[in-house]
A and B are shown apart, each in its own frame.
Chain A
Amino acid sequence: MSHGDMNLTLKIWRQKNTETKGSFETYPISGISPDMSFLEMIDVLNEKLIVEGKEPVAFDHDCREGICGMCSMYINGRPHGPKNAVTTCQLHMRSFKNGDTIVIEPWRASAFPVIKDLAVDRTSFDRIMAAGGFVSVNTGNAQDANNLPISKEDADESFTSAACIGCGACVAACKNASAMLFVSAKVSQYALLPQGQPERKSRVLAMVAQMEEEGFGSCTNTGACEAECPKGISISNIARLNREYLGAALSSK
């Protein structure tokens, strides 16, 4: 092992499954290198637990490049930890100091039940998408792509909203567990493009209705979501969603 010399104390939420109650367990860990990613540090812990005959910590992760949105740890009271604009998997141990105590919890929201330890169920996001997060075009009917010029500004802004990775940090950060930032990013992506216009009203109504049905809280504009979003999704998307929603709700009456 390329040992580093950081010694840390980890306080990790352990919960066997959705039904049982969880609690914190404390684990000292040593030999951590500042070049390790946070998840590689957890790998080291798990390897140790397995060899000691204990149960490793369950957590979600896949790409480890900050793009799949699977990793989801609430570290020292902040979703994805102390650094702005990075996911847990892109957080590196050089962001911590030798001797630190690190508290690690799952996302906490009633719409995200804990599956085990640090892994939660985010299928509510999928259901919001199924309610309206799309353009209704069947395969094979599209016109030539360049027959639809779109101004670079609109395309770029749409892309910026589309960069959401669906991680749920915005929900975890919000005291109301609101999913507004996530939903508004998708609504904005389409609202900014000509392809999104035909379903502009029905989309926002359907997505917001599903969001409420899933039990996410309402938005009180605290801005915690934007501050913790690893992809820099702007709160101005929420303002746009509100306008879109109001316009759609009024005209549908």
Chain B
Amino acid sequence: MSQKLDAKIPEGNIAEKWTKYKSTVPLVNPANKRNIEIIVVGTGLAGSSAASALAEMGYKVKVFCFQDSARRAHSIAAQGGINAAKNYQNDGDSIYRLFYDTIKGGDYRAREANVHRLSEVSGNIIDQCVAQGVPFAREYGGLLSNRSFGGTQVQRTFYAAGQTGQQLLLGAYSALQRQVGMGTVKSYTRHEMLDVVNIDGKCRGIIARDLVTGKLERHFGHAVLLCTGGYGNVFYLSTNAMGSNVTAAWKAHKKGAYFANPCFTQIHPTCIPVSGDHQSKLTLMSESLRNDGRIWTPKKQGDTRKAIDIPEEERDYYLERRYPAFGNLVPRDVASRAAKERCDAGYGVGTSKMAVYLDFAANMKRYGRVEATKQNIHNPDEETIVRLGKEVVKEKYGNLFDMYKQITDENPYEVPMRIYPAVHYTMGGLWVDYNLMTTVPGLYALGEANFSDHGANRLGASALMQGLADGYFVIPYTIGAYLSNEIRTAAISTDHEAFVEAEKNVQSQIEKLMNIKGTKSVDYFHKKLGKVMWDKCGMARNEAGLKEAIAEIRAIREEFWKDLRVPGSANEFNPELEKAGRVADFIELGELMCKDALNRNESCGGHFREEYQTEEGEANRDDADYAYVAAWEFNSVGEWTLNKEELKYENIKIAQRSYK
């Protein structure tokens, strides 16, 4: 078997680990920092925050993204909010409670020490963002406003309408551009990293393709940070941006970085349902809507009446029925499965019958009445109540309602939204230790690209928190543990044979893709892969299905390398070639996801194995055999070795997760 994984968790009491570690971790002095080069791949919340913070400290930074501007990284699309244990609402929140909620929400498959640190720094993130001029939502008194998200009973989510990710990313991007202007960061947009370069067992740089000219470039760094986001697009249809991909992480995996818990995928309960085969992506309707929306289906199977024609007593508010304590605010995995259960049982709505209602009518009226009282309107008529209620809802979620209308041509102020679960986020990712270093020395993974904080299910509004925590407040300290030993390493020439060799390999992969000259487009293969993944490695999985999926994915891989057609040439702007490289990696990843799902003979969080459920249909976890992180080591395409990191719960008592 394989090397033992050392998570490098500091000794001591959970509440003191980070503080103590932070003040003892070796430092790099300012003069030496100027000679140390760091490569940051990705400009989402994790990448932009890391790159700007490291540059502010004095390191020489290069930052890469495939979009035309750092500001367009996928983080921009995050809607609902960001968590922080500020307890501004005086509702009993604390660092411990956020820590507890996250561990429990993750169904006891996350690492305690990392999650506690995340909770500790969460408050600093809000402070930092406000100082940068991020315009969060505020109350009339001028203080910050909060809303609730799933899986918690406190209000700890900070937001900017339904555009929180946009505002946070623009804040981080501003900080980054400031450093670019000062010359401490060099920015490479429209560049795609296509391999990492290891020298004497350490990561020393990357190979990137200039997407405009097609030219391959070699870049040296004393350390490389992958902040390249999640791999939800392996399913073809997801809420991720079209370009989101696994390529950077996957190339690193093939060069020695272990891939952890690949099968842990988050299917988000509230997305706009698929409308036809032309569909290129799915659109999220933020979880924040569940604050004010009630989810229901008709009580009668196959009911074809319009929503407004179905009387109250014939509606089944199934989440409130099944989970009275959390109601519509159960965690995502639970809400998604419950929606699937209703639709599979024949209670779905809409033309496809694969949808449930998310209804704002009741809360719109409640807001209307409150607003009427505020405005001193006594005995308001129905029309006034509805009008005032709409105004409140518009202020909270206006952009989301507009987006819904734009896509479906239905007005959600008048009729309930139709929603269905869709792939949204990937908890799995590159395995990292407490320092956020992968199994390759000098190679780090931050943000959604790593696996560390969300276990088997992420709570809403926690990804933005993690991205910024990793970049602003964790890596600036933990990277010192490695770089303090690198101050004597002079910059390595990119003529070094390892760079030459890596570039040659990238070149030959590109040529291989261009030279297949088959008959089918990249999308053809991507859709085919996505369907297998969704049907057999999606919301519900079983042994037979996963075995079939592995065989089918292998067949897709073979067909891909025989019959793919990439038009144009390699030395120009060629989006089809970019996609081809990404789909090649998704195909290999898909197989590993199924293998991981097959290995995990239990149900936990987003990983639901049909064989392992309670009588009430809830996930049945097996802590005796599976309380570990599955960290896969790449041997060759289709061949991996499993390494295990045991998870120890010393501060939170591991228990059956209940939201009833």
Interface residues, chain A, CB within 8 Å of chain B? 1-2, 16-17, 33, 35-37, 39-40, 43-44, 46-47, 49-51, 53-56, 58, 60-70, 86, 90, 92, 94, 115-116, 119, 121-123, 125-126, 129-146, 148-152, 155-156, 158-159, 162-163, 165-166, 189-190, 193, 195-196
Contact = CB atoms under 8 A, between A and B. Distances in A.
Contact of A166 (B71, B132, B567): B71
Contacts of A86: 406
Interface in B171-208: 173-175, 177-178, 180-181, 187, 189
22 contacts: A1-B276, A33-B278, A51-B521, A62-B241, A62-B243, A64-B281, A70-B67, A70-B68, A70-B72, A123-B189, A129-B71, A137-B175, A139-B175, A140-B124, A140-B473, A142-B124, A155-B135, A162-B135, A162-B160, A163-B166, A165-B166, A193-B133
B446 interface: no
Nearest to A195: B133
A68 B229 CA distance: 15
In order of increasing CB-CB distance, the 3 nearest A-B pairs are A149-B142, A2-B276, A130-B181
B137 interface: yes
B472 A92 contact: no
Given A123-B69, A134-B178, A152-B139, A189 B276 contact: no
B643 interface: no
A151 B142 contact: yes
Given A50-B521, A92-B406, A190-B133, 15 more contacts: A36-B278, A40-B279, A51-B519, A51-B565, A65-B284, A68-B76, A90-B403, A126-B177, A134-B132, A139-B52, A142-B130, A145-B86, A152-B140, A155-B135, A162-B135
B478 to A, nearest CB: 14
Given A58-B575, A125-B69, A139-B56, A130 B135 contact: no
B177 A134 contact: yes
A35 B275 contact: yes
B130 A145 contact: yes
B603 interface: no
A11 B370 CA distance: 53
A155 B573 contact: no
A60 B211 CA distance: 12
A135 B132 contact: yes
A132 B181 CA distance: 8
Given A63-B241, A149-B141, A158 B130 contact: no
A66 B284 CA distance: 12
A146 to B, nearest CB: 5
B77 A68 contact: yes
B161 interface: yes
A125 B68 CA distance: 10
A155 B279 CA distance: 37
B181 A166 contact: no
B525 to A, nearest CB: 12
Contact of B573 (A115, A131, A142, A195): A115
A17 to B, nearest CB: 7
Contacts of B166: 67, 163, 165
A135 B56 contact: no
B396 to A, nearest CB: 12
A152 B142 contact: yes
A68 B278 contact: no
B619 to A, nearest CB: 31
Interface string B221-255: 00000000000000000000111000000000000
A8 to B, nearest CB: 14
Contacts of B588: none
Contacts of B568: 55
Contacts of B243: 62
Nearest to B66: A62
Main secondary structure of the interface of A (DSSP, over half): loop
A140 B128 CA distance: 7
A33 B276 contact: yes
A63 B141 CA distance: 35
Contacts, number: 233
B423 to A, nearest CB: 15
B242 A64 contact: yes
B212 A115 contact: yes
A69 B166 CA distance: 11
Interface in B516-540: 519-521, 523
Contacts of B277: 1-2
Nearest to A83: B406
Contacts of A162: 135, 160, 167, 170
A38 B126 CA distance: 38
Contacts of B86: 145-146
B409 interface: yes
B476 A90 contact: no
Contacts of B49: 139
B53 interface: yes
B582 interface: no
B138 A155 contact: yes
A126 B177 CA distance: 7
Interface string B59-74: 0000000011111101
Contacts of B128: 137, 139-140, 142
Contact of A43 (B160, B165, B276, B280): B280
Nearest to A54: B567
B71 A47 contact: no
Contacts of A136: 178
Contacts of A166: 69, 71-72
Contacts of A142: 124, 127-128, 130-131
A50 B189 CA distance: 27
B501 interface: no
B142 A195 contact: no
Interface centre among B68, B71, B72, B177 (most CB of A within 10 A): B68
A193 B135 contact: yes
B236 to A, nearest CB: 12
B88 interface: yes
B23 to A, nearest CB: 14
A150 B142 contact: yes
Nearest to A210: B181
Nearest to B185: A130
B180 to A, nearest CB: 5
Nearest to A166: B71
Contacts of A189: 133, 135
A66 B403 contact: yes
A129 B567 contact: no
Interface centre among A122, A139, A144 (most CB of B within 10 A): A139
A150 to B, nearest CB: 5
B143 A137 contact: no
Nearest to B408: A35
Nearest to A155: B138
B136 interface: yes
B523 A130 contact: no
Given A129-B174, A130-B181, A135-B133, A143 B127 contact: yes
Contacts of A133: 174, 177
Interface in B632-649: none
B336 interface: no
A58 B472 CA distance: 36
Interface centre among A37, A50, A51, A141 (most CB of B within 10 A): A50
A159 B523 contact: no
A55 B241 contact: no
Contacts of B189: 123, 126
